[in-house]
Structure 1
Amino acid sequence: MIIPWQEIASDTLQNLLSEFVLREGTDYGDAECTLDDKIDQVKQQLIRGEAHIVYSELHESIDIKTSQSLRSDTQNEYDGPHDGHE
């Protein structure tokens, strides 16, 4: 389930973004970025709709996913298991 970032209290959103950035350890190329810069980059992705906050009822967890990974996850759900015989 996608949770609109606007509906999350600002302190909670900041903590979620911080935890996500620290957990992911994203590669930012040659440019060295501060933690605050990385958090701001992810927040801007949320604002632009390029990333989304997703709650998993199955795992009782929350994560941030890109629009592309969400589409891929959704497609895989509908494809079902593959047995290699197409």
Structure 2
Amino acid sequence: MIIPHQQLDKDTLYNLIESYVLREGTDYGEQEFSIESKVAQVKQQLTTGEALVFFSELHESVTIISKSEFKALQSEEQFNE
């Protein structure tokens, strides 16, 4: 289920993005980015719709996924029906 990021408390959203950034690793090529910069990039992706806040009922967890990952999940679910 998609959760509109605008409906999340500002601190909750920041913590979710920060957790996602730290989990995703640190290899961003030759240029290093601060955590704040990475958080800002993900927040921008949420704003533009490139990334989505996703609640997994199966795993009872919330994470951030790309729009293409979400579409793949939808296709997989339709295939399994």
Residue 3 of structure 1 is matched in structure 2 by 3
Query: Displaced runs of 4+ in structure 1, greater than 3 A?
Result: none
Tell me by how many angstroms 1:78 deviates.
1.1
Give the greater-gyration-radius structure (CA).
1
Tell me by how many angstroms 1:66 deviates.
0.5
Report matched runs for 1:41-60 at 5 Å: 41-60=41-60
The alpha-carbon distance between structure 1 residues 4 and 78, as it changes in their structure 2 partners (threshold 3 A), is same
List gaps (5 residues or longer) in structure 2.
none
Letter in 2 for 1:20: Y
Question: Distance between the aligned counterparts of 1:23 and 1:71, measured in 2?
Answer: 22
Question: Distance between the aligned counterparts of 1:77 and 1:57, measured in 2?
Answer: 13
The DSSP-based 3-state class of the residue aligned with 2:39 is: helix
The DSSP-based 3-state class of the residue aligned with 1:58 is: coil
How many residue pairs are counted as aligned between the two chains?
Answer: 81
Letter in 2 for 1:34: S
Q: TM-score, normalised by structure 2?
A: 0.93
Question: Distance between the aligned counterparts of 1:28 and 1:22, measured in 2?
Answer: 12
Tell me by how many angstroms 1:24 deviates.
1.1
Letter in 2 for 1:71: K
Tell me by how many angstroms 1:80 deviates.
2.1
Q: TM-score, normalised by structure 1?
A: 0.88
Calculate the aligned-residue CA RMSD, in Å.
1.4
